[in-house]
Amino acid sequence: MMKTNSTTSKLKVLLLALLLVFGQFYSQTNNGAVGINTSSPNANSVLDVVSGGNNKGVLIPRLTESQRDAIVINKPKDDGLTIYNTTEDCFNYWSFADDEWKSVCGQLGKALFTVDCSNTKAMGTYVKGRELTTSNYLSMAVNVTKAGNYTISGTTPNGYSFYGTGTFLNTGVQTIQIAGQGTPLNIQTDDVSLTANGTDVTCTPAVSINVLSPAGTYTMSCGSATVNGVYKVGTALNSSNTITLPVNVSTLGSYTITTNTVDGISFRGSGTFTATGSQNVTLSGTGTPSSTTVKTITITSDSQGGVSTTCNVNVIVVIPKKTVLHIGLETAYGYSAFTGPSRSLMDSPTNFGTAASSIVKYEGFTHISLGNSPSSAALQAALNNKPDIVIIGYSYTPNATDAGYIASYLNKKGIVIALTDDTGTAQNLFRGIFSDPTISSSYGGGAGSVYALVNTDDPVLNGPFGDVRGKNWGEDASTTVNISGLTSGFIPYSYAQPINSTTARTGISGLRSSSLNFVWFGDGGFLSNENANGNPYSSNTIEPFVAPSSGGYFPVQKAAYGYAGNGYATGGMQVQNSILFANTIAWAVKQAEFSGINTQ
C-alpha cells in the first residue's frame, strides 16, 4: 500500500540515501563528513556532493515497483531505505513506523487501474464535418487499485480524439469522462485506440463510433408523439422511458433530436435516415424526476432546409397515494364508493395505477370510512386529520353544524364530492359552503329521470375517462334534488329538467364550484349498482352505474336507461354516471396533489 507524504521533513530522508553513492574523489574531514568533488565538506552534513562542472546530478538505485516489492525488508534496520520508483516516477522510502513503502515525490504518483471495456462507450453524436462538443466524450468504467494520477487518451484515424487527465483519490470502481476534441472527416465506423498512463488498452470488441452523414431534412409531428413508460419522483428513468416521435423525412442524412431538461429529466435520439417519408424516431429518456408537476418538454431537431425545429410534449409523473374519507352507507350499491363497483373502479390499476397502461398515473388510495351517521365531533376530528378527498353518498344527512365543518375543510383546499338526494342535506351543505342563507333545495324527477349534461369544456365533463359533454346522467331509485338561489361561483353541469319529462322543473341538478374543490350531483344513488362485477343491472330506472370487471372496472355508459316520456321510449337513453365519477376522481387526485389541503 502506498501513501503520499509531501512534507519537507520527509525529504530529509533522501539525504541519507546519498551515503550509498560514492565518487572517485572524496575527503573525510570535519568529524567524519564525506565530500565528493570537494575537500571541504559541509560541517553539518554526513555527505557533501559537488558537481564539478555544475552539469551533473546524483542517482540513487532505480527500481520498478515490482523490483522494489521483491526486496526482503529487515524492518528495524531498513527504516528509511530509499529508492527511486520508476513505475511511479517518485522517490519511495521504507517506513518502519507504518510498515510500508511511502511516496515522497510531493504529489500522488501514477494510479494503478484497469479499464472495464464492457462499460466503456462513446457518448454523443458524431457527424462528418461537425466539431465535437462537451456532449462528445468517452464514458469509462475503471477499477482503481492504487490512488494517483491518470492520463487517458483515445485516438481515431478520422480527425478526432479523446484526452483526459486527473487524479483518483480513492480506490474501487469509478466512472470517468474523457473529453472529445476535433472534427470527424469521413462517414465511417471508427475503432478508438486507448492508452492509459502510457500503456495500451486492448478492448475486445473495440470501442467503436459511427460517424454519421450531415443532418437530413425532416419535420416532427409532436401532436402525435407518444410518451412511453412510467415516471415517478425519485426513480431514475430506464429503457422503457421513451418518446415515440413521428417524423416525415424529405432529405436523407443524420438526425440528432434532443430536449431540454425539466425537473431532472430529458430525452435524446440520433441516427441516420435511410429512407424518406413518414417514420418514427425513438427518444430515450435519462435522469430522475424531481417533482410530480406535468413536464412540458421542448423537443429540438437538427433538421436542415428551413423547417420548424422545435415543438412540445407533456410528460406525466405518477402522483403519490391519497387518503379518501367516505361518508355514507357501506352497502353493495357503492353509495359512498367505500364499497361496490365504484370502489372497485377507484382501486383498479387499469384506471388509477402505476402501470404504463394505467389511465391516470397514480399510486392509489387509502380508504377511510365514517359510516352513514357520524357525530359532529367525529366528523370534525376526521376532517381535522386533513384527508385529501371526501366522498359523501346516500344517505348521510349533515346538519348545519356539520355543513360548517365541511365548508371550513373546503376553505382549507380540501376536496368534497357530494352525491345527495335529501333536500335538507343539500340545503345545509350549500348554505354553509356558499355562505348564502337564501339558497334553497327542492325535489325534482324520480327514478329513471335522465338529465342532459352541458357542453362545457371542463375536466369532469371531458376527462381522461371520456368526453360526456352533451350526454346524460341518470337518477337512481329515489328523487333528484335541485338547488335554486345560486347566482355565481359555480359551473353548472346539469339543470333540473329531465329530458324524458314534460313536467317543468327549475334549478340546478349538478355542478362544480369555481373557487372551491367541490363537486355535487343531486342523487344519493349516483353510484348505485348492486352487481359486484360492475356489469349493468337489469333495470331501466335504477342503478345507473356501470364499470365491468371484465374491462378492469373501466367506466362505460349504461346503454339502456330511463322511463318513457317526452318522446323517449323506456330504456331509450344512455347515461354516463360511471364516466362522470371516474373523471371527477381524476380531477380530485390532481387537485389534491397540486392545490389540495396537504399542499399548503
CATH number at residue 117: 2.60.40.10
> Residue 408's domain spans which residues?
322-595
Average pLDDT for 425-433:
95
CA 476 to chain centre: 43
- Of the candidates 254, 23, 253, 282, the residue with the CA atom closest to the CA atom of residue 125: 254
Residue 415 has pLDDT above 50, yes or no: yes
Matching residue, cell 560514492:
22
Q: Is 351 found in the same domain as 222?
A: no
| 3-state SS class at 580 | helix
- At 108 the pLDDT is 66
Q: Is 347 found in the same domain as 309?
A: no
| 3-state SS class at 16 | helix
Sequence-distant (6+) residues with CB within 8 A of 339 are 330, 331, 332, 333
Residue 7 has pLDDT above 60, yes or no: no
Average pLDDT for 565-586:
98
- Of the candidates 156, 157, 158, 152, the residue with the CA atom closest to the CA atom of residue 139: 152
- Of the candidates 540, 532, 338, the residue with the CA atom closest to the CA atom of residue 419: 338
Q: Which of 11-25, 296-310, 458-472 has the lowest average pLDDT?
A: 11-25
User: What SS3 string covers 463-512?
Assistant: ECCEECCCCEEECCCCCCEEEECCCCCEEEEEECCCCCCCCCCCCEEEEE
Rg (CA), the chain: 39
- Of the candidates 111, 115, 114, 135, the residue with the CA atom closest to the CA atom of residue 123: 135
DSSP annotation of 432: H
- At 265 the pLDDT is 96
Cα three-residue angle 28-29-34, rounded to 5 degrees: 40
Sequence-distant (6+) residues with CB within 8 A of 569 are none
Q: Is 444 found in the same domain as 375?
A: yes
DSSP annotation of 302: -
Average pLDDT for 61-82:
91
Q: Is 269 found in the same domain as 400?
A: no
384-408 per-position pLDDT tens digit:
999 999 999 999 999 999 999 999 9
- For residue 434, being part of any structural domain is answered with yes
- For residue 502, being part of any structural domain is answered with yes
Share of the chain above pLDDT 90, in %: 75
Given 151, 181, 212, which residue is the final one in a domain?
A: 212
Contact in structure between 95 and 62 (CB atoms under 8 Å): no
Residue 19 has pLDDT above 60, yes or no: no
Matching residue, cell 515525490:
105
Q: 389-392 and 322-327 as β-strands: parallel, antiparallel, unpaired? A: parallel
- For residue 514, being part of any structural domain is answered with yes
CATH number at residue 458: 3.40.50
Q: How many helices (H) and strands (E) does the chain have?
A: 7, 43
What is the band of 106 on the pLDDT scale with cuts at 50, 70, 90? low
- At 526 the pLDDT is 98
Q: Is 468 found in the same domain as 349?
A: yes
Helices 400-411, 423-434: axis angle to 10 degrees equals 40
- Of the candidates 501, 485, 367, 494, the residue with the CA atom closest to the CA atom of residue 426: 485
- For residue 600, being part of any structural domain is answered with no
Matching residue, cell 351543505:
429
Matching residue, cell 368526453:
467
Matching residue, cell 352525491:
419
What is the band of 564 on the pLDDT scale with cuts at 50, 70, 90? very high
Upstream peptide bond of 254 is cis (omega within 30 degrees of 0): no
Q: Is 523 found in the same domain as 448?
A: yes
Total domains in the fold of the chain: 4
Contact in structure between 142 and 148 (CB atoms under 8 Å): no
Cα three-residue angle 6-7-12, rounded to 5 degrees: 105
- At 155 the pLDDT is 97
- For residue 471, being part of any structural domain is answered with yes
CB atoms within 10 A of CB 440: 16
- For residue 242, being part of any structural domain is answered with yes
**Cell matching residue 518:** 367541490
Residue 185 has pLDDT above 70, yes or no: yes
Q: Is 84 found in the same domain as 30?
A: yes
486-535 per-position pLDDT tens digit:
999 999 999 999 999 999 999 999 999 999 999 999 999 999 999 999 99
Given 33, 68, 103, which residue is the final one in a domain?
A: 103
What is the band of 75 on the pLDDT scale with cuts at 50, 70, 90? confident
DSSP assignments along 66-114, one per residue: HHHHTS---TTT-TT-EEEETTTTEEEEEETTTTEEEE-SSS--B-EEE
- For residue 519, being part of any structural domain is answered with yes
Residue 79 has pLDDT above 80, yes or no: yes
DSSP assignments along 305-349, one per residue: SS---EEEEEEPPPBPPEEEEEES--STT-TTSSSHHHHHHHH-T
Sequence-distant (6+) residues with CB within 8 A of 2 are 88, 92, 100, 101, 102, 103, 109, 146, 147, 148
Q: Is 221 found in the same domain as 206?
A: no
Residue 285 has pLDDT above 50, yes or no: yes
Contact in structure between 403 and 433 (CB atoms under 8 Å): yes
Q: Is 375 found in the same domain as 305?
A: no
What is the band of 600 on the pLDDT scale with cuts at 50, 70, 90? low
**Cell matching residue 206:** 473495440
- At 18 the pLDDT is 44
Average pLDDT for 434-447:
96
Q: Is 303 found in the same domain as 285?
A: yes
| 3-state SS class at 586 | helix
Helices 400-411, 376-384: axis angle to 10 degrees equals 10
Contact in structure between 407 and 390 (CB atoms under 8 Å): no
- At 306 the pLDDT is 78
CB atoms within 10 A of CB 14: 16
Average pLDDT for 242-259:
93
- At 338 the pLDDT is 97
- At 6 the pLDDT is 41
Query: What is the pTM (predicted TM-score) of this model?
Result: 0.65
Average pLDDT of the residues of the chain:
91
Q: Is 562 found in the same domain as 548?
A: yes
pLDDT higher for 219 or 99? 219
**Cell matching residue 133:** 462538443
DSSP annotation of 245: E
Given 39, 70, 103, which residue is the final one in a domain?
A: 103
Q: Is 379 found in the same domain as 272?
A: no
Average pLDDT for 190-214:
92
